[in-house]
Each structure stands twice: as C-alpha cells, then as structure tokens.
Structure 1
C-alpha cells in the first residue's frame, strides 16, 4: 500500500501541518498499515472497520495512553477520508471509528507566588551571569506573559516584537497569525536581552532570530524545555513540568483575574473555545481547594 507519500503531501501542502505533526501522523499510518498487512490486508480498498478497531485495541493493550490512542484514531479518520477523496478506496471504513474517551486530567498550573519566586531567581541570575542567563530570563518572562507555545517562541524574529505597544506577532498552528500583548516585566527582560545579551552572541549567521543559542544560532526548542524544566524542578513544590506549564499558568491566572474567556482564547491561539474552557475547570478546581482549606464548615 503506497499511499503514505500522497498523504504526507496532503498534510504539508493542504493542511499546513507542522513537521512534528506530520511525522506523528505518518508514524500512525505506518503502524496502521503494518497491522493491516499482518492481518492479510494487501490493498487499501480491503481495509475495513474491524481492522481499524483491532489495531486500536492492540495499541490499547500495549499500554498506550488514551491521549495517544485518540490521536491515532484521528489519524486513521483523516487518512481514510483523504484516501476516499483521492478515489483510492470506494467507501470510508473509519466513519464509525470511535476514539477512546480522553481522561479529564487538569494541566499542571503554578501558583502566582511560585511564578514570582521563579522569575525572581532568574532576575538575580541575569544580573550576575552572562548573556544566556539574560536570555533565559527573557524567554521565561515572555512564555508566562503571553502563553505562547515553545515552537512559537523559538520562531520569533526581532521584527515580531513591537516594544512600544508591548505586543508580539505570533505565527501559530496552521500558519495562523495573531497579536499577543505582554506586560512590563517581560518588556524589561526582553529589552535587557536585546541590548545586553543578544549582541554578545550574535553572528553573521544569526539572521533575524529573536532568541539565540550560545553559538549564535536560533535557539532550539529542546534548549527552552531544558531551561524551564530545570527551573520547575528547582521550585521543589510543584507537579508542573515543562514550558507548557507556563502556558497553562498564564491562562489560568488570566481567568482568575477576571479576563474574558474569548480574550484568553485569542491570546492562546485556540481555534475552538472548548479547548480554552479547560482552564475554567482549572480555576474552579483551585477555588474549591482554597475553600476546603479555609472555610470552617467546608
């Protein structure tokens, strides 16, 4: 079944999926087609709903998380829908394919005082350290101030920053552009990086990249994850992990402060309001815990 190449072109050209998403989808398709072949399905038109269900069942028995299973089911539906459009199959076998329900887990969120401690430590390190310490402070301040994703942060160019209006021009998922505001602390940290830190590491090959690594290249997402992961671990009193915790925290603190849900949706770049609504659950959950800890008749 030689359909993966056409599906890849469809994902990249028509759906404008990121390289990471394309690789994940293609891996899922390879897994599906490999499983189908093991059941004697030699041609794509022979693919049936039962095969798809048994494939997901085998994935579940192997211990995959429900979120991964849900993604694989979504991949199967996208793949067969594309194959039907391309007339590679006569009917879509995944129309009745059900994904396992996702566990309703709330994202890890920092308390406001934990963020204050973290950025305070970063500020001290920036004063005493070199350009990378200045950069780290600016990156973390911006991640928390704007709620941008790591991929969006590392993709920023200098011209994407409007220091007068204190806004960022962000290119998000599906190449959708949005404008995101940031506050004074992030503006100060960013100004320090642009005036003091970046000039020390910039090279002829740096181009317009806003954040640079020690060798002058555009900073890598893994470097950002490493920096934030170390900071969260150093806090010692949080279950939050990785840069996405700053995005979760930004959204939750905005809603705790009275921000409109649709405004938060726009800031985060969510295509669906339902995705943003998880943060209302986070806020309610925190409110409930505070009530239970503080009220004498809770």
Structure 2
C-alpha cells in the first residue's frame, strides 16, 4: 500500500467526516492520528493497497497496538485507546467499501478487546464507621448537616447527585425511608437505618433551621441557605476521611460501593441490592459479587490449612 495512495484515501475519508458527517475538529484530528498509525503499520507489512488488506491484518494491528512498536517510537496503548483506534479503522474501511475503493469491508467483523472488569473499590466496615464518626460536630449546624449527609449516603447507597437533590419532603423519618430520584428521573423508595435517621432528625431540628435563609425545599443546605452542591458534598466526605486518618482516596461512590459490598457480604440477595441501588439491570449489580468472591478467596487462602 503506497504511502501517497493511503494518505489520499485517508484524506478523502477525513474530508467526508468533516463536510458530510459534521464531525468535530477534535474528532477528525483524533482519527487522523489513529489512521496515520494504521497506515504506518500497513506500510511496514508491505501491504501495497487497501484491496490487499485482510481481516487478519486488521486483527494483527490490534495486537501491535497493545504491544507497541519500539522501532518506530510507538508505545503500547490501553484497551480503551485500542477500541477508539479500531473505530477509526472500521470507519475508514466502511467508507472505502461504500466508495468502491475496495470490494469488501474486511474490518467489519473485527471487535475491540474487552476491557478488564474494573472492580469497584469498597472500604472495610471499620473504615466507613471511622469516616462517619469524623463527619462533623454535633453542636454546629454544618457538622450536623455533614454527619446526616454521610450517614445517609452509606445507609441507603445513594448516588451523590441523588442525595444533593433531596428535598425535605423526600424524607420520612417515621417510616425510616427516603425517596430517591435516580438516572432517567426514575424514583425509588429505600429504607434508611437507625443511625442515619437519628442524624437526619438532629440536623432537621438543630442544624437546618440555622442554615435556611429563605423558602428552600432542599434537604441539605450550604452556608448561604441554598442547595448544597455535588462538589461541596464530595468535599465533606474527603474532609471526613482525612480526619479519620484514611490514606486511600475516597469518593461518594466509595460509600455506595461499600454499601453494596457490605450488604452482599451479609447475605443480601443480589436482586434486592439491585433495587436498592437503582440499577436497571441486575448485570450491573453483579460486579459486586466479584468483590465478595475475591474476598472469600483471600480469606480461604490465608485461613484454610490445605489452601496451598
């Protein structure tokens, strides 16, 4: 595949993306870089034209992306970058087929590598309790708010956006339940544990009245009397984790992951956890079962006399 010929086809494809597809400049530039690497790969393999490219050539290109090409000064790519590059290559071959440059789309059947399943990070129960104990002072409005916020996040596995969008009317302390608005506007009512209810009642009685400045339905308020932002709620958790002496990075999702993992460790059914988390599919929730299986493996390996 001569370089000029490849460059000509690539430029036609990029012009197509820009003019006919209306692709953003950043997208076109990204495709240009990816296809330049593809062109270099084909040239190095002695492939003279697009009609000489086979499906195996495209698959081998993915292998090289993962391996890198030290001679050309090209490092290995992560799976996410390989998948992005393959999108460019598949689009290029599809265009070449549609334009009659080649007879068949040899890249159509090639799929990107499946990314490794990233297990959600969770904290041991003692670490979570240390964070909650460090949440705030019981005699300051902000401290009462912070304690109620973190207790709620862990007690019901709420997303940070769900917690900050809560209104006072969404809390039913008598029924020990909270109404959460999840993704897609879907609502769910989930139970709240006793410590979280106590923290919420203390905040509503002694904390929130000192923060409110006007008619504001929001449950969690900032110092100006408005709704607490996601960023500020995140900082509440970071500060509490720092005071608790934790040296690991902690985010609101860490509490959500811990909530799910601790429930499953305690014997909860995965479909119940699915409902509590507001997952549309149980498949999303099942990633937490991998965490508990890994934990069991570690315990078995260290505790069983015939494990090794």
Shared fold (TM-score, shorter chain, > 0.5): yes
Alignment partners' CA distance in 2, 1:258 and 1:280:
11
CA deviation string 1:213-234 (max 9, x = no partner): 1111100000111111233344
For normalisation by structure 1, the TM-score amounts to 0.69
Provide the aligned length of Structure 1 versus Structure 2: 238
- Distance in 2, Cα, partners of 1:284 & 1:193: 38
Relative to structure 1, the CA distance from residue 255 to residue 56 in structure 2 (aligned partners, 3 Å threshold; closer, same or farther) is farther
Question: What do the CA deviations read for 1:162-197 (whole angstroms, capped 9, x no partner)?
Answer: 111111111100111111111100000000110000
Taking a change above 3 Å as real, the CA distance of residues 242 and 292 of structure 1, as seen in their structure-2 partners, is same
Match of 1:209 among 218, 223, 232: 218
* Aligned partners of 1:108 and 1:239 also within 8 Å: no
Pair 68,169 (structure 1): closer, same or farther in 2 beyond 3 Å:
farther
Residues in 2 aligned to 1:194 and 1:234: alpha-carbon distance in whole angstroms: 24
Structure 2 residue 20 is the aligned partner of structure 1 residue 44: yes
Compute the displacement of 1:101 (Å).
2.3
Question: 1:282/1:193 Cα in 2 relative to 1: closer, same or farther (>3 Å)?
Answer: same
Aligned counterpart for 1:265 among listed residues 268, 274, 278 = 274
The separation in 2 between residues aligned to 1:250 and 1:70, in whole angstroms, is: 32
| 2-structure distance, mates of 1:251, 1:102 | 23
CA contact (8 A) 1:150 1:243 kept: yes
| Counterparts of 1:167 and 1:259, CA distance in 2 | 18
Contact 1:162 1:168 in 2 (8 A): yes
Whole-Å Cα distance in 2 between the matches of residues 248 and 217 of structure 1? 28
Per the alignment, residue 238 of structure 2 pairs with 229
Change (3 A) 1:150 1:71: farther
Q: Deviation per CA, 1:223-266: give whole Å up to 9, x if none.
A: 11111123334444564521100000000011111111111000
Looking at structure 2, the residues matched to 198 and 227 of structure 1 have their Cα atoms a distance apart, in angstroms, of: 16
Moved more, 238-247 or 65-74: 65-74
Residue in structure 2 matched with residue 114 of structure 1 by the alignment: 127
Q: Distance in 1 between matches of 2:259 and 2:147?
A: 16
Verify the 8 A CA contact 1:56 1:73 in the aligned structure 2.
no
- Whether the aligned pair in 2 keeps the contact of 1:264 and 1:276 (CA below 8 Å) is yes
Residue by residue over 1:10-29, the C-alpha shift from the partner in whole angstroms, topping out at 9 and shown as x without a partner, is xxxxxxxxxxxxxxxxxxxx
1:193-208 → structure 2 map (5 Å cutoff): 193-205=203-215, 207-208=216-217
Q: Normalization by structure 2: what TM-score? A: 0.67
For the Cα contact (< 8 Å) 1:252–1:282, is it kept in 2?
yes
Q: Which residue of 2 aligns with 1:168?
A: 178
1:70-121 Cα distance to aligned partner (Å, 9 max, x none): 79999xxxxxxxxxxxxxxxxxxxx978555222221111111111222223
Gaps in structure 2 of 5+ consecutive residues: 1-9, 36-64, 66-73, 88-107
* Aligned 8 A contact 1:66 1:101 in 2: yes
* Structure with the greater alpha carbon radius of gyration: 2
Q: Which residue of 1 aligns with 2:283?
A: 274
